[in-house]
Copies of this chain bind each other. A is one copy, B any other.
């Protein structure tokens, strides 16, 4: 196994030139003659030379690694965004390191730390639900390391980000319900005050007002937006005999819970109650009835997030130009609101 090595010194030795020349030849530096470049490349192939990224990273200070922090990788939305990021990273010859925060603040802080230690060239992140203090990200910014946030962000941080127009998505959803005949629309929203949920709530309220309907606090219910929460909240309003003819939920899982409970109580959907969710989870088109929902453009979000990231990375000159992109959501109308 003499192929243990294969460094630029190997190549240099074989050609009786120096390692620096080899390095420049491989990097297509104009200071090296075409002939030498060709000879170097030939030998490189011959001995199956593979550049050592670690050595390169140490000297050049560029690791060609992007750290990506998400609450969890096994949720459709996040894994789709990751896919979008990886797609573009690929093009630029970058690799992505995934870390999950599990929505825990401590983990998120540790992840940032770890990624910084790994000397990533930049970080792309979406906050966990507990995150209300942003010192760990401020540290990233202070170090001059490119940072781009997506979906779950904070206004107090002046950082480039890509988010969905949650307000608009909710507005359209509720407007659609009203146009379909609903007058008393229940809203499921998150307990924790995260930007995306407060925006959706605002969209809900404004759509009501714009249509001359009043906002009844009794119709706004809080939970953590899982399937179980949807079930529980729905059972609650049925027990209370609350008068309602539509539900707009901030999350698809919760609306699914509502659908299950309504069906089990023999309440017709969309006959008696119309439903709209948020997220366009894959299952929403498989239920009976299929569920109207708001698409979050996850792949596009990943793509644009990565684009924004590389723009920053490639323009250290005009630094600190934070670019905010707001994506238009798309209302996917299905049976549950017909």
Enumerate chain A interface residues (CB-CB to B < 8 A).
Answer: 50-55, 57-58, 63-65, 72-76, 79-80, 82-83, 86, 95-100, 113-119, 256, 263, 281-283, 286-288
The 9 A-B pairs with the shortest beta carbon distances in the complex, nearest first, are A283-B283, A288-B288, A74-B79, A79-B79, A74-B80, A74-B83, A283-B286, A54-B58, A54-B57
The minimal Cβ–Cβ distance linking A278 to chain B, given in whole angstroms, is 16
The minimal Cβ–Cβ distance linking A141 to chain B, given in whole angstroms, is 13
Known: A98-B98, A282-B283, A287-B288. A119 touches B53 (CB 8 A): yes
Q: Which residue of B lies closest to A61 (CB)?
A: B54
- Cross-chain contact A98 with B117 (CB below 8 angstroms): no
Interface CB pairs A-B, < 8 A, 27: A50-B113, A50-B116, A51-B117, A52-B58, A52-B117, A52-B119, A54-B57, A54-B58, A54-B118, A54-B119, A55-B58, A65-B97, A73-B82, A73-B86, A74-B76, A74-B82, A76-B76, A82-B98, A95-B97, A95-B114, A96-B98, A97-B97, A97-B98, A282-B282, A283-B283, A283-B287, A286-B287
Contacts of A256 in B (CB 8 A): 286
Contacts of A65 in B (CB 8 A): 97, 118
- Cross-chain contact B100 with A86 (CB below 8 angstroms): yes
A50 and B96 CA atoms in complex are apart in Å by 21
The minimal Cβ–Cβ distance linking A284 to chain B, given in whole angstroms, is 9
Contacts of A52 in B (CB 8 A): 58, 117, 119
Q: Which residue of B lies closest to A260 (CB)?
A: B286
Contacts A52-B119, A82-B98, A97-B97 aside, 5 further interface pairs with beta carbons under 8 A come to A65-B118, A73-B73, A281-B282, A283-B287, A286-B286
- Cross-chain contact A73 with B83 (CB below 8 angstroms): yes
Known: A53-B118, A256-B286, A283-B283. A83 touches B72 (CB 8 A): yes
A73 and B78 CA atoms in complex are apart in Å by 10
A54 and B52 CA atoms in complex are apart in Å by 11
A118 and B96 CA atoms in complex are apart in Å by 11
The minimal Cβ–Cβ distance linking A96 to chain B, given in whole angstroms, is 6
Contacts of A286 in B (CB 8 A): 256, 283, 286-287
A82 and B114 CA atoms in complex are apart in Å by 18
Contacts of A95 in B (CB 8 A): 97, 99, 114-115, 118
Contacts of A288 in B (CB 8 A): 263, 287-288
A75 and B99 CA atoms in complex are apart in Å by 18
The minimal Cβ–Cβ distance linking A98 to chain B, given in whole angstroms, is 5
A75 and B75 CA atoms in complex are apart in Å by 9
